[in-house]
Amino acid sequence: MSWDFQQIKQTLREDAAAVASPRELEDFRIKYLGRKGLIQEIYASLADAPKDQKPIIGKEANDLKKMATALVEERKQGIGSQPGKAQRQLDPTLPGVAPRVGHKHLLTQTIEEICDIFEGLGFSIQEGPEVETEFNNFTALNIPEDHPSRDGFDTFYTNVKDRTSKDANLLLRSHTSPGQIRIMQEHTPPLAVVIPGKVYRPDAVDASHSFMFHQIEGLLVDKDVKFSHLKGLLHAFCKKLFGPDIKMRFRPHFFPFTEPSAEVDISWKGGKKEWLEIMGCGMVHPKVFEYAGYPKGKYTGLAFGLGVERMTMLKYGIPDIRLFYENDLRFLEQF
Amino acid sequence: MKLSLNWLRDYVAHGADNELLAHKLTMAGMEIEGVENVDGDTVFELEITPNRADCLSTIGLAREVSAIFDKPLKEPKISVPKIPARKVSISIADTEDCSLYLGTLIEGVTVGAAPEFMGSRLKAVGIRPISNLVDITNFCLMEYGQPLHVFDFDKLEGGRIEVRRARKGEKILTLDGVERELDPSVLVIADAVRPVAIAGIMGGKNTEVGPQTKNVLLESAHFDPILIRRAARKLGLSSDSSYRFERGIDPAGVARTSDRALQLILESAGGKAAGHGKAGSTAVKKAKAVTVTHEQVGSAIGMDVAPARIKKIFKKLNFTVEESARGIKVCPPSARRDIKDPVDLVEEVARVIGYDNIPEAMPVIGENSIPSNTQRALRNRIRELMLAQGFDEMVSFSLINREDLERARLNSKDVAAIINPLSLDQEVLQPSTLPSLLPIVRTNINRGQRDLSLFELSKIYDVRGQEKEVLSVVMCGLARQDWRELKKRPVDVYDLKGALAQTLERCGLTELRYALVDANIYQAKSGVTVAVNGRSLGSFGSIHPDILQNFGIKNTAVYYAEVEIPYKDFVKSARRRFSALSQFPGVTRDVSLAVPQEVPYQDIADMIRREGGDLLRHVSFSEEYLGDKIPAGQRGLVFSLLYQSTDRTLTEDEVNAVHQTLLGKITDFFSATIR
């Protein structure tokens, strides 16, 4: 007698798959592994088989026996044949199991969101060092020494000598604006860049102040940049970040490195009537271009700077700046 | 700057209600930061930017309000009697320090209370009334922005005034009751023998006016802003006077305010003007004329403004305006020292038109000479990979306490430090992230969050202030749970290494090398360095328990990594090539070795890869076994090798030949045995 082992294996698997109760499992076992079962029958046929077929039939019979035994075990687990033990059934409401994905720090999220918006508007993203020279942090930004305009920029000085300047020490940048200077020293307009990064000021730490925080600086220099562009650009940005209903106003202000200068206030429709200051901006002061080595009168530009922490606190209703740096897991996991 | 609205109305009838006034001032660049009511008066707290020293007085603000609402400004009428020719001796050592000093001698005054209107005005702006003489100087300060001072003339030695630098070691007891030591960087007002005031900052006790004072010398002067600013900073003493001198006072106001104060003194304290002295020059240098064209204004703000409108705006601001061949020639009043360039005039026009009334336009950004940022791209990729492996991102402070370095067993001497820290907690630029991350671990553990997988992308700084970007990782507590598995397991160094290695490898750094390192921040035999291309990137390991204890972390191991972000290596290895996918079945061979303990896994794996030949497709590691079946001093390592060819099905014999040769080499070279 010849056997179609391919077919037998196929049927064996199908029969096993169809087993749904202990009773059916027993039937399955008897059909294949029983004393009068199929596998016994195959072994019995060995005696009459041609000599060259015997080893093949023997090997296949062994394989089948192994398979059938394994399937019986497997199905036993599957249908829970042991009496008294509860069967595990799929509870679709049990939590699924997945590798955990971590949480990006909220400040990073804000920085990325803001940078993405400006990238979409055609800006590149660059960064600059935190340990800066007095020249880049102040002088080149038209903030002379001994001038009250420095009052807004209390600054940490380091014990490291500035090799580019006599008797000067390096400092920790008190704003991201020195990044503008570095960009302009290395590149010729047209240029459009945003510069995110950490800045430092000797401020006592409380709910709204920190000695270290993040800023994002923006700079656009070309041949015909106007104040109306500053308004248009920042309005477009605010709408993208805070939603199309945001109200925005430009209020005259003073920064030594821009003229005219403005602060930008926003207010939510339907929210509180009060205006919230979110950024400073203006048209690049001709003195700054002069320090950057650009030809006089050739270029105009706009610049802006915003505080990441402040913006994030406004957007998400975070009451205390210290939450950002404490890194309490419960805070990190919220965002 | 506090502005009393009752006081403001003395000079301009603006007709606006408080809300409109506040709005208009804010939109003109003088932001209202607070509003308070004082005895029926409304007081605005205004932020006056450093460029607008002219607005640090009630009349200065009244001038702005008059321009904003187009209403006339009514300045006080000042009339003073003719002062007798008697001379008061006044000398200025250097007119660079003090360009003008006026001293007026008033004899026979009666010290008492100031008139009521004056007291209430002063109280409204937060100045405590003291006596008529002092109150008058304060009143004039707040009215015109010119600081004044009165000396008890009879206490002035020699009855004379010298404006000079302090001598080294000279001392003065200032009106706030503090004795201050001076040096030649400080300008003083002195009599014949001693300083009687620190110029522009504060008077001295020795010549203070009191109830007995009969004769006074009234000072009105103009001092160098930088000198006053430096002295105020050096002495740590700031006053309403120094605040204004630093920002620059109106040189034309020196004489005018002196007369105004004299008038008020004679009215309320009696006496008579008995003489006066002057040093320096009353000639006020006229501000330089600036020319701007209406096209310039239009193209700068993006809106056409008619020349007539521009001229009207300047006139309202009290500028003199002339039409010249080159445009509109403008000369600002002496108080507006901030107007120097055409852009300053553009701003004035924009400000008065109102920024709200300037149209919006989108700039067209086409060409951009700034390249895209590849470092940022790599950093973002590292971040995403760490997040994907379950790590939460931290942001921590990069300034730390020097003692925390010692607590972390790190070098606390050769570091870049802040020379003017606000607190010792922010003194040092971190040379490692460990001291700022351990407190975060402690905080979380103390709040019951004991299972942590955290990372940060930040900078560390060397002694020269050079910045290096690093990836830091901390792990502690139990490994993430799966509810189907009952066993809980603490994280260990392999969890850390796995995440770190996968992150770096997926950034293209496939040739990472690891070696034990003896670093004292780690527990013995737990520190590991990571290197690429023969250069160390950093290390990881289990933090030494002494350090954990120093940071208040108990009963847990903390695993920490700090590795440099290898920008250069990344760029090189990022160029990948495709390798063909085999269509033929492969053959797997498991290898179970017993090797001497000191042989590193890497050496064996490297040899397998090197000697496996072209047919060896893949090597994976499946087990480290340390049991009683392994001889002492050895460990079991199990590898799984896949042999596969891209052009044929391999035969058993073929694979066996290669595999046996390989096994022979391994057992020979490492004194290993096949188990």
* DSSP-assigned letters across all residues of B429-473: E-SSSHHHHHHHHHHHHHTT---EEEEEEEEEE-TT--EEEEEEE
More confident residue, A268 or A195: A195
Q: Are B490 and B379 in contact (CB under 8 A)?
A: no
What's the pLDDT at B478? Answer: 94
What's the pLDDT at A48? Answer: 83
Is residue B264 domain-shared with residue B178, that is, in the same domain? yes
Nearest to A315 by CA among A111, A101, A104: A111
Query: Do the domain assignments include residue B508?
Result: yes
| CB-CB neighbours of B18 under 10 Å | 12
Alpha-carbon distances of B478 from B62, B456, B492, B525, B546, rounded to whole Å:
69, 20, 9, 22, 21
Query: Do the domain assignments include residue B362?
Result: no
3-state secondary structure chain A: CCCCHHHHHHHHHHHHHHCCCHHHHHHHHHHHHCCCCHHHHHHHHHHHCCHHHHHHHHHHHHHHHHHHHHHHHHHHHHHCCCCCCCCCCCCCCCCCCCCCCCCCCHHHHHHHHHHHHHHHCCCEECCCCCEECHHHHCHHHCCCCCCHHHHHHCCCEEEEECCCCCCCEEEECCCCCHHHHHHHHHCCCCEEEEEEEEEECCCCCECCECCEEEEEEEEEEECCCCHHHHHHHHHHHHHHHHCCCCEEEEEEEEECCEEEEEEEEEECCCCCCCCEEEEEEEEECHHHHHHHCCCCCCCEEEEEEEEHHHHHHHHHCCCCCHHHHHCCHHHHCCC
Does B394 sit within 8 Å of A105, measured CB to CB? yes
Tell me which chain B residues have a C-beta less than 8 angstroms from the C-beta of A187: 369-370
Tell me which chain A residues have a C-beta less than 8 angstroms from the C-beta of B367: 190
DSSP track, B610-641: HHS-TTEEEEEEEEEE-STTSPTTEEEEEEEE
**In degrees rounded to 5, what are phi and psi of residue B12?**
-150, 130
Is residue B55 domain-shared with residue B169, that is, in the same domain? no
The pLDDT tens digits for A42-89 are: 888 888 888 888 888 888 888 888 888 888 888 887 775 455 556 678
Distance between CA atoms of residues A86 and A106, nearest Å: 46
What's the pLDDT at A45? Answer: 85
What's the pLDDT at A83? Answer: 54
Is residue B196 domain-shared with residue B316, that is, in the same domain? no
B422 burial type by CB count under 10 A (0-12 exposed, 13-18 middle, 19+ buried): middle
Does B461 sit within 8 Å of A131, measured CB to CB? yes
The mean pLDDT of chain A is: 90
What's the pLDDT at A18? Answer: 83
List of long-range contacts for B372-375, beta carbons under 8 Å, 24+ apart: B372/A124, B372/A125, B373/A124, B373/A125, B373/A126, B373/A127, B374/B567, B374/B571, B375/A127, B375/B469, B375/B565, B375/B567
What's the pLDDT at B569? Answer: 80
Does A131 sit within 8 Å of B429, measured CB to CB? yes
- Beta strand pairing status for B160-165 and B187-190? antiparallel
Does A332 sit within 8 Å of B29, measured CB to CB? no
Is cis: bond before A260, omega within 30 of 0? yes
| CA–CA min distance B460, chain A (Å) | 11
Query: Do the domain assignments include residue B361?
Result: no
| CA–CA min distance B25, chain A (Å) | 10
| CA–CA min distance A162, chain B (Å) | 10
The mean pLDDT of chain B is: 92
More confident residue, A88 or B378: B378
Distance between CA atoms of residues A264 and B596, nearest Å: 70
- pLDDT of residue B139 exceeding 90, the answer is yes
**Could you tell me if B584 lies within 8 Å of chain A, comparing CB atoms?**
no
Distance between CA atoms of residues B547 and B522, nearest Å: 9
- pLDDT of residue B571 exceeding 60, the answer is yes
pLDDT tier at B366, thresholds 50, 70, 90: confident
Residue pointed to by tokens 């890194």: A327
Percent of chain A with pLDDT over 90: 60
Tell me which chain A residues have a C-beta less than 8 angstroms from the C-beta of B303: 228
Query: Do the domain assignments include residue B610?
Result: yes
Does B426 sit within 8 Å of A100, measured CB to CB? no
Does B418 sit within 8 Å of A328, measured CB to CB? no
Residue B556's domain comprises: 374-573
**What is the number of domains present in chain B?**
5
- pLDDT of residue B417 exceeding 60, the answer is yes
More confident residue, A298 or B577: A298
Nearest residue in chain A measured CA to CA from B482: A97
What's the pLDDT at B574? Answer: 56
Is cis: bond before A190, omega within 30 of 0? yes
Which residues 22-41 of A have a C-beta within 8 angstroms of B?
A: none
Is residue B339 domain-shared with residue B443, that is, in the same domain? no
**Which amino acid is present at A284?**
V
3-class state of residue B12 by DSSP:
coil
Is residue B397 domain-shared with residue B315, that is, in the same domain? no
Beta bridge partner(s), residue A220: A192, A302
Tell me which chain A residues have a C-beta less than 8 angstroms from the C-beta of B383: 104, 108
Q: Are B64 and B25 in contact (CB under 8 A)?
A: yes
Rounded average pLDDT over B56-82: 91
| CA–CA min distance A76, chain B (Å) | 20
The pLDDT tens digits for B425-448 are: 999 999 999 999 999 999 999 999
Residue where a domain terminates, one of B573, B599, B617: B573
Tell me which chain B residues have a C-beta less than 8 angstroms from the C-beta of A330: 447, 449
pLDDT tier at A20, thresholds 50, 70, 90: confident
Does B362 sit within 8 Å of A232, measured CB to CB? yes
Q: Are B343 and B301 in contact (CB under 8 A)?
A: no
- pLDDT of residue B557 exceeding 60, the answer is yes
Tell me which chain A residues have a C-beta less than 8 angstroms from the C-beta of B391: 102
Is residue B399 domain-shared with residue B453, that is, in the same domain? yes
Nearest residue in chain B measured CA to CA from A301: B300
- Assign residue B335 the CATH number of its domain: 3.30.56.10
Rounded average pLDDT over B90-99: 93
Rounded average pLDDT over A267-291: 87
| Residue to substitute from A127, A215, A224, A259, interface B, most B β-carbons within 10 A | A259
The pLDDT tens digits for A326-335 are: 999 999 999 9
Q: Are B18 and B5 in contact (CB under 8 A)?
A: yes
Query: Do the domain assignments include residue B581?
Result: no
pLDDT tier at B282, thresholds 50, 70, 90: confident
Residue where a domain terminates, one of B280, B302, B325: B280
Distance between CA atoms of residues B349 and B344, nearest Å: 9
The pLDDT tens digits for B20-38 are: 999 999 999 999 999 999 9
DSSP track, B60-108: HHHHHHHHHHT----PPP---PPPPSPBPEEEES-TTTEEEEEEEEEES
Residue where a domain terminates, one of B231, B254, B280: B280
What's the pLDDT at A19? Answer: 84
Helix, strand, coil content of chain B in percent (nearest 5): 35, 25, 40
Rounded average pLDDT over B247-267: 93
Is residue B318 domain-shared with residue B208, that is, in the same domain? no
- Beta strand pairing status for B195-198 and B202-203? antiparallel
| Residue to substitute from B48, B368, B399, B458, interface A, most A β-carbons within 10 A | B368
**Could you tell me if B291 lies within 8 Å of chain A, comparing CB atoms?**
no
Q: Are B109 and B213 in contact (CB under 8 A)?
A: yes
Is residue B266 domain-shared with residue B208, that is, in the same domain? yes
What's the pLDDT at B663? Answer: 94
Query: Do the domain assignments include residue B356?
Result: no
Does A231 sit within 8 Å of B361, measured CB to CB? yes
Distance from the Cα of residue A279 to its chain's centroid: 24
Query: Do the domain assignments include residue B472?
Result: yes
What's the pLDDT at B32? Answer: 93
Rounded average pLDDT over B225-241: 93
**Could you tell me if A147 lies within 8 Å of chain B, comparing CB atoms?**
yes
**Could you tell me if B245 lies within 8 Å of chain A, comparing CB atoms?**
no
Which residues 360-389 of B have a C-beta within 8 angstroms of A?
A: 360-363, 365-373, 375-376, 380, 383, 386-389
Q: Poorest-confidence range of A9-13, A223-227, A253-257?
A: A9-13
Give the contacts of A55 (CB within 8 A, at least 6 positions apart). none
3-state secondary structure B168-179: CCCEEEECCCCE
Distance between CA atoms of residues B117 and B95, nearest Å: 38
- Assign residue B254 the CATH number of its domain: 3.50.40.10
3-class state of residue B404 by DSSP:
helix
Spell out the alpha helix ranges (H) of B147-293. Answer: 225-235, 240-247, 253-269
Tell me which chain B residues have a C-beta less than 8 angstroms from the C-beta of A212: 397-399
- pLDDT of residue A285 exceeding 60, the answer is yes
Q: Are A151 and A221 in contact (CB under 8 A)?
A: no
The pLDDT tens digits for B650-664 are: 998 999 999 999 999
Is residue B462 domain-shared with residue B569, that is, in the same domain? yes
Which residues 60-79 of A have a C-beta within 8 angstroms of B?
A: none
Rounded average pLDDT over A166-177: 93
Which residues 20-79 of B have a C-beta within 8 angstroms of A?
A: 26-29, 31, 49-52
Is residue B276 domain-shared with residue B299, that is, in the same domain? no
Backbone φ/ψ region at A288: left (φ over 0), alpha (ψ -120 to 50), beta: alpha
Rounded average pLDDT over B519-546: 94
| CB-CB neighbours of A241 under 10 Å | 17
Rounded average pLDDT over B315-340: 89
Q: Which pair of tokens denotes residue B339?
A: 């107007």
Report angle CA B97, B98, B103 to the nearest 5 degrees.
Answer: 150
Nearest residue in chain A measured CA to CA from B391: A102
Percent of chain B with pLDDT over 70: 99
Is residue B405 domain-shared with residue B510, that is, in the same domain? yes
Alpha-carbon distances of B266 from A91, B111, B132, B136, B153, rounded to whole Å:
96, 11, 11, 11, 16
Which residues 406-445 of B have a C-beta within 8 angstroms of A?
A: 416-422, 426, 429, 440, 443-444
Q: Which pair of tokens denotes residue A53?
A: 């077929």
Tell me which chain B residues have a C-beta less than 8 angstroms from the C-beta of A233: 362-363
Rounded average pLDDT over B312-340: 89
What's the pLDDT at B573? Answer: 56
Nearest to A222 by CA among B460, B367, B577: B367
Q: Are A6 and A60 in contact (CB under 8 A)?
A: no
Does B395 sit within 8 Å of A105, measured CB to CB? yes
Is residue B424 domain-shared with residue B496, that is, in the same domain? yes
Q: Is the dihedral of CA B108, B111, B112, B113 positive or negative?
A: positive
The pLDDT tens digits for B141-152 are: 999 999 999 999
**Could you tell me if A95 lies within 8 Å of chain B, comparing CB atoms?**
yes
| CA–CA min distance A103, chain B (Å) | 5
Tell me which chain A residues have a C-beta less than 8 angstroms from the C-beta of B369: 187-191
| CA–CA min distance B367, chain A (Å) | 6
Q: Which pair of tokens denotes residue A301?
A: 């530009």
- pLDDT of residue B350 exceeding 70, the answer is yes
Nearest residue in chain A measured CA to CA from B451: A329
Nearest to B120 by CA among B10, B245, B254: B10
Query: Do the domain assignments include residue B383?
Result: yes
What's the pLDDT at A25? Answer: 87
What's the pLDDT at A114? Answer: 97
